[in-house]
Amino acid sequence: MKTQEIYNKAWFSLGFSKELKKGKLLQKILLETPIVLWRDEKGKAHAFLDRCPHRHMPLSTGRVKKGSLRCRYHGWAFNNTGSLIEVPGLEKGKGPSCTLKKFEIFEKEQFLWVYGDPSEKPPYGPPNLLPKNKMFRLNTKYNFEGGLFDVLENFLDPTHTHFVHKTLLRLSKTRKRISTKILHHEDGVQAVYFDEGEEANIFAKTFGKKIDKTSGRFRSPNIVVLDYLEGEKLKARIILHFTPKTSEKVEMGGSLLVKGHKFLFFPIMPFLKLMLKKLLKEDRLIIQEKYSHEKLFPTKDIYKSTEADLLGPTIKKWLLKGPRPTIKEKQREIWL
């Protein structure tokens, strides 16, 4: 299975549901393909290839009128199935037989999900990512310059935090030897970290001293889930959706979920937002620098990975070759 085939059979988040206003058009880029999103009169979301078949004008610059999508160049109108219903200048019912390429779209967990292959009926829906228990939620968006692998590995790699986020994520200057467990799933791979200690990261400091286990999971091909637990009790979760706009640009939609009533977090809301903004900026800069420098070299040398690179090599294989054979869990010790 090649990378494009993997992407074709995946759901990608193209933004938050609240971004798509009734009566408005929204353009999104997925895998170098422009897509126009809009809602009909009943509020149902639709997604089509953003190109009018007449003169290839972007439909996203048009308008929604009477439940139809109308091009701003010559006024061709399409209904919510993508069928051409009106050509101004011709009698009603006259005009070529044409239909816009339609993408399956699904709204779930406050996100707009689009299936990668418009020619295929999705065999399954978007994944369930929210915890069962209701939690306080903070959403954010960010753009990165780099490949999908670069961004995915970065957010699942704890070893870079000592250098890139040393004043924010890693509070202790002394590394600690910890146990880890690598779990392989049908849809990806996961690393579990035990007893990092309160001083190890700011999330343990912020959300409770009893956080004794953290987990980072890759769900192929574009999702990262980070969990912070007290035993088996989930205290906080970070969900990150990565959508490759092009081979060099990735858009992220993320949610921070924390156990507790929202009123408890109002006092620290400014701090949370500032912290997330600073962390994402630090990651953006390091990914961009690494990616830009790598392009200077014409040959793609194989990375020199070590046992401390817990998930990167496996993520790379998933993106290049698809699902990996089921492997028994592995245990490793690293210094964090």
Complete DSSP assignment for 173-212: SS--EEEEEEEEETTEEEEEEE---TTT-HHHHHH-TT--
| Max Cα-Cα span within the chain | 78
- Its pTM stands at 0.92
Percentage of the chain modeled with pLDDT above 70: 95
* Domain(s) of CATH 3.90.380.10: residues in the chain: 136-335
- Tokens of residue 91, six digits: 């009698």
Q: β-pairing, 33-39 with 111-115?
A: unpaired
* Domain(s) of CATH 2.102.10.10: residues in the chain: 7-115
CATH C-level class of 7-115:
mainly beta
CATH topology of domain 136-335: Naphthalene 1,2-dioxygenase Alpha Subunit; Chain A, domain 1 (3.90.380)
* pLDDT tens by residue, 181-227: 999 999 999 999 998 765 555 655 665 557 889 999 999 999 999 99
Gap between the Cα atoms of 70 and 64, Å rounded: 6
Gap between the Cα atoms of 116 and 104, Å rounded: 8
Q: Residue 171 has what pLDDT?
A: 65
Gap between the Cα atoms of 98 and 138, Å rounded: 42
* pLDDT tens by residue, 71-96: 999 999 999 999 999 999 998 888 89
Structural element, H or E, at residue 156: none
pLDDT of 248 over the 70 cut? yes
Asked whether 141 and 254 are in contact (CB, 8 A), the reply is yes
238: amino acid identity, one letter: I
Asked whether 183 and 159 are in contact (CB, 8 A), the reply is no
